[in-house]
Chain A
Amino acid sequence: MLLLMVSAAGYLPAQNPGWIVPDDLKSKICPVKFSPEMVKQGEGIYLKNCQSCHGLPTKQNFAAIKPSPGDLSEPRVGTQKDGELFYRISTGKAPMPEFRNILNEDERWSVISFLRSFHKGYVQPDPGKSSSTAGKRIKLLMTYDTAKKRILVKAVELNKEGVQPAKGVGIVLFVQRYFGNMQIADPKTTSESGYAGFDWPRDLPGDKTGNVIVGARESDPTGSMQEAMVIDTLNIGVPTDKPSLTDTRAMWSTRDKAPVWVILIYTLAVITVWYFIIYIILSVLDIRKIKQA
């Protein structure tokens, strides 16, 4: 069992094993009132992303897998707060994927609005009374320590008393790649002085000159849009300039890139054949000359 968990953790996103929702996120509510259009949109997203495991609500046709995904119209789900559903959809739990990178916040809320249409007796909390958790204004600063090969991220809080180091802010370090941002190391929390340090992987490829676009963001398990972020281009990657795959001579390549021995043998063969053709023509001419003479 332990082995299973360890090996699963190798390629599954870091997930909360107990799927416990932090208290401050339980109270998160949808910023807008659920509308029929929203439910309709949510239905479309549900059919595309959720139905393959959870089946259609009330139809009990969920997939026979362990742990059981269950029917989402049941009270087990219906009694949960909006914030809890939002957190669980956002963070996932193996084998359920985390949807914070797949669906944006509005899409996740519309899925919840669709599910709520099956929950009898559900009353949506008034969006006007949203207890926003994003009260703090956090700013991030990033520096690279050349000697220690570490990236230092400093979080500062902007409030009435000015700029102060922000303690206990979760920081995720990432680098930009072609199809998305790649997380470097596990998320860290800022210290008393507002710093979080990350060891830089020395074998990470950069561009031709070794430039890497590095970023740090405030980690929010639900992936809110308001989180603080800093992005910078640093010359700390391994310079990577691998030749194009068609640069080397190969049997399968085009004429210009054929192996030298193929070109040589082919040319020799053509010359030999033409040599004999011309030799025969000349011989025939000679025979005619002899005949005339």
Chain B
Amino acid sequence: MDENTVSNGNEQDPSKSSRRNFLKNIGLLGAGVTAGAAALYSGDIFEKKKAATGESRVLLTQDNKLVEVDSLEMKALATNPTKMMLEKGREGIPGKRWAMVIDLSKCRNARRCIAACQEAHQLKPEQYHLNTLQMQDNAETAPYHMPKNCQHCDNPPCVAVCPVDATYKRGDGIVLIDNERCIGCRFCMAACPYSARIFQWTTPKDAGKHNGEAYNVELNVPQKLGTISKCLFSADRCRDEKLPYCVSACPNGVYYFGDENEDAVTNGTTKETLRLSKLLRDNGAYQLMPELGTKPRVYYLPPKNRLFPFEPSTD
């Protein structure tokens, strides 16, 4: 106790001078850092200006131009495939606005779309990016099957609530999830009015088999425990000018997919391409819960004149 008071009293004076010294030191340090940085920077500029002395190489650029580059100036690109795919996946396909049309009059619950989707995205049978729901609006109306996937809204509530920028919307309309960023908070699941998102509560399917594989953000594989997954409009297939997995798997011509800017959608079964605006206008197309202001990119054609009778699902 006595010692403490003594030491406190002793520190009273040095503390004054130490504060002054501290500030002085900070000033000196700041000046030193500035001078050092300036020296490094000018050195760097000098290095860049210095004539390259390596041998010159002729290279072909991505836009098919031959260029001559000094070998000393050549720098290997980062070859982290996950990072490359993440960067590519952030940018949509320029000039495109994808749209999907689902014709409910043709759906007979063949569930091929679901199988193709689960196969592509490494999902367990009980995990759905896309599901066919049995609908009956009331006791008087006829039941029908309704495929429901992510609506890829133009005003996506899920993206607005994500605290880590893991789920994002691209310029071509697709809403994707970056599972390298996802922290598993499930805010997006709560925000989505269409219940389009699933959470990987348990070890994903074939987790051991895909261990160590590069993460493909446009396919969302390999799936990761404790993160979100959902329909991606098969962003990887769109890049290759192919229709999404579900669309091409349907045996009954339920799905149309295409580019709103081109005003064309292609049927996955018949491969027939139609005017999107005409298809929507002529068939009384509607969207799911448009009153929420989410602006979905998926349109439904009503289950009128159904081609197949309703058979309740067995599974």
Contact = CB atoms under 8 A, between A and B. Distances in A.
A245 to B, nearest CB: 5
Contact of A179 (B92, B159, B253, B258): B258
Interface string B262-273: 111010011111
Nearest to B173: A245
B86 to A, nearest CB: 14
Interface residues of B, number: 53
A261 interface: no
B197 to A, nearest CB: 15
Nearest to B297: A245
Nearest to B275: A182
Given A244-B171, A254-B168, A178 B241 contact: yes
B160 A252 contact: yes
Interface in A33-72: 48-49, 52-53, 63-65
Interface in A151-202: 177-183
Contact of A13 (B272, B283, B304): B272
A8 B97 CA distance: 28
B276 to A, nearest CB: 10
A147 B261 CA distance: 27
Interface in A65-83: 65
Interface string A233-272: 0000000111011110011111000000000000000000
A101 interface: yes
B102 to A, nearest CB: 12
B305 A65 contact: no
Contact of B259 (A97, A178, A204, A253): A178
Contacts of B159: 252-253
B307 A95 contact: yes
B41 interface: no
Contacts, number: 119
Interface residues of A, number: 43
Contacts of A177: 258-259, 262, 264, 266, 273
A-side binding surface: helix, strand, loop or mixed? loop
A4 interface: yes
B119 interface: no
B243 interface: yes
Nearest to B165: A254
Contacts of A102: 269-271
A84 interface: no
Nearest to B106: A95
Contact of B169 (A48, A92, A207, A245): A245
B140 interface: no
B-side binding surface: helix, strand, loop or mixed? loop
A231 interface: no
Contact of B251 (A7, A49, A98): A49
B159 to A, nearest CB: 4
Interface string B190-223: 0000000000000000000000000000000000
Contacts of A48: 251
A21 interface: no
A15 to B, nearest CB: 11
A63 B242 CA distance: 30
Given A49-B251, A252-B156, A7 B264 contact: no
B311 to A, nearest CB: 8
A252 B157 contact: yes
Nearest to A7: B305
Interface string B82-121: 0000000000101111000001001010101000000000
A11 B283 CA distance: 8
A52 B251 CA distance: 7
Interface of A: 4, 7-8, 10-11, 13, 48-49, 52-53, 63-65, 92, 94-95, 97-98, 101-102, 177-183, 204-205, 207-208, 240-242, 244-247, 250-254
Interface of B: 92, 94-97, 103, 106, 108, 110, 112, 154-157, 159-160, 165, 168-173, 241-243, 251-253, 257-259, 261-264, 266, 269-275, 279, 282-283, 301, 304-305, 307-309
9 contacts: A11-B279, A49-B251, A53-B251, A98-B270, A179-B241, A180-B273, A182-B264, A252-B159, A252-B169
Given A246-B170, A252-B159, 5 more contacts: A7-B305, A10-B283, A52-B110, A177-B264, A178-B262
Query: When A and B form their complex, which 4 residue pairs have the shortest distance between CB atoms, in order from nearest?
Result: A244-B171, A182-B273, A252-B160, A179-B266
